[in-house]
């Protein structure tokens, strides 16, 4: 079998783009919904498109738009993005172990722009070391479709009837549900964390409406993680013991 690191720079780039096609198609549909949501919140087409071009984070962008629409503070925005996107730093640390020797600091910084859940999963599953060309191709097609989908969704949000855009705006939230339901069905710990976060969100929405959406997300996430860690901690087996 040919290892990924054995490809030439150009073939690695196109192999990365090829592997990224399924990710790009998924990103296009989800970002289309984000574009509609952003325009409905009062953002311009250009602003929504630039946000997607610079961020590549569906949950972070959805929360960010909600904070902007509510007139939240920079501190609220920063803390919300930190809580939501902290996992990307952990993914980058893990993925750095698979990068080949040609990855100097500027290349690492460039690739860090495009580390998302799906790209991390795809890159981690590749056999052998990862070359810069492969990562560039994988990230480029995903980022392009994410940005293009946002632009087209934002344009459509300005042209389509409000009833239709309201329905299509649910795509982003449907994606979140599709992400959490399968692992929640398999793991009791995940189920507890998801239910706790949902209950906290309802509490803030109906009983504590004076708490802004950004801080509600932060507090709900921290509370759910704390409950999961205290009630159902992950059991680590001693080293050398068979699974």
Instruction: Report which of 93, 100, 83 is spatially closest to residue 216, judged by C-alpha positions.
Output: 83
Cβ pair 21, 141 in contact under 8 A: yes
For residue 152, what are the β-bridge partners?
none
Task: Pull the structure tokens for residue 171.
Answer: 């795509």
Cβ pair 3, 123 in contact under 8 A: no
Q: What is the pLDDT along the chain (243 residues), one digit of tens a residue?
A: 445 545 566 788 999 999 999 999 989 988 988 898 899 888 999 999 999 999 888 888 988 888 888 888 888 888 888 888 888 888 888 888 888 888 888 999 999 999 988 898 888 888 888 899 999 999 999 999 999 999 999 998 888 777 666 666 666 666 667 667 777 777 778 788 888 888 888 888 888 777 776 677 778 878 888 888 787 666 655 444 444
Cα separation, 177 vs 215, in Å, equals 21
The pLDDT, as a whole number, for residue 167 is: 65
The pLDDT, as a whole number, for residue 238 is: 47
**Dihedrals phi, psi of 130, to nearest 5 degrees:** -95, 130
pTM for the whole structure: 0.72
Cα separation, 37 vs 107, in Å, equals 33
The pLDDT, as a whole number, for residue 205 is: 80
Per-position DSSP letters for 40-59, written without gaps between them: HTT--HHHHHHHHHHH--HH
């Amino acid at each position: 079998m040919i290892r990924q690191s054995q490809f030439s720079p150009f073939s690695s780039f196109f192999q990365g783009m090829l592997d990224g096609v399924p990710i790009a198609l998924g990103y296009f549909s989800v970002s289309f919904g984000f574009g509609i949501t952003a325009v409905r919140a009062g953002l311009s087409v250009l602003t929504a498109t630039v946000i997607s071009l610079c961020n590549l984070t569906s949950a972070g962008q959805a929360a960010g738009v909600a904070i902007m629409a509510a007139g939240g503070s920079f501190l609220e925005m920063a803390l919300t993005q930190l809580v939501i996107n902290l996992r990307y730093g952990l993914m980058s640390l893990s993925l750095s172990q698979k990068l080949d020797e040609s990855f100097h600091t500027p290349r690492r910084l460039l690739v860090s722009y495009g580390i998302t859940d799906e790209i991390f999963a795809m890159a981690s599953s590749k056999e052998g070391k990862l070359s810069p060309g492969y990562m560039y191709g994988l990230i480029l097609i995903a980022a392009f479709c994410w940005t293009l989908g946002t632009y087209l969704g934002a344009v459509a949000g300005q042209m389509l009837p409000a009833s239709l855009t309201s329905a299509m705006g649910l795509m982003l939230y449907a994606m979140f549900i599709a992400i959490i339901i399968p692992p929640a069905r398999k793991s009791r710990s995940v189920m507890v964390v998801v239910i706790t976060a949902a209950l906290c969100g309802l509490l803030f929405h109906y009983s504590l409406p004076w708490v802004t959406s950004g801080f509600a997300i932060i507090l709900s996430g921290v509370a759910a993680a704390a409950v999961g860690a205290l009630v159902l901690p992950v059991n680590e087996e001693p080293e050398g013991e068979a699974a």
